[in-house]
Amino acid sequence: MSETNKLVFHGLDREGDIEVRQRNAPHWFQVGAAIFVTFRTIDSLPREVISRMQAELEHWLAIKKLPIELAASTVHRKAPNHQQLLETLEAQDRKEFRRMADRLFHMSLDDCHS
């Protein structure tokens, strides 16, 4: 590789433009900056933990009189009608549901189950 084509590592420039997206966790993007990728294996959470997460989501949905099947679809990674179920929720309920599901998921991962 020639000197002019050499790849150079750039860390995040806190003074530069940063695009922040929310999904399962905050994601920051910056043109030209290195990206850190994390992943988990499909069996990294025990069944009882997943069942507990689903029960908490079902409880919240039941209190709000919303489609309970959305809990299983969320926890078990999307039924074919998952998006349609989400769209039945009002915008604020959808936002709150996603926030709660993300919080439960990441707290469970942080508990380091074996």
At which residue do the structure tokens 């009189």 appear? 65
Structure confidence at residue 39 as a pLDDT band (50, 70, 90): low
| pLDDT tens digits for range 9-29 | 677 677 877 776 665 556 667
Listed by start position, the domains of the chain span 47-110
| pLDDT tens digits for range 100-114 | 998 898 888 877 766
pLDDT of res. 36? 66
Q: What angle do CA 30, 5, 36 make, to 5 degrees?
A: 30
Structure confidence at residue 34 as a pLDDT band (50, 70, 90): low
Q: Is 102 helix (H, G, I), strand (E, B) or coil?
A: helix
Given a contact cutoff of 8 angstroms between Cβ atoms, the answer to whether 28 and 20 are in contact is yes
Q: Which helix (H) or strand (E) holds 41?
A: none
| pLDDT tens digits for range 54-111 | 999 999 999 999 999 999 999 887 778 888 888 999 999 999 999 999 889 888 887 7
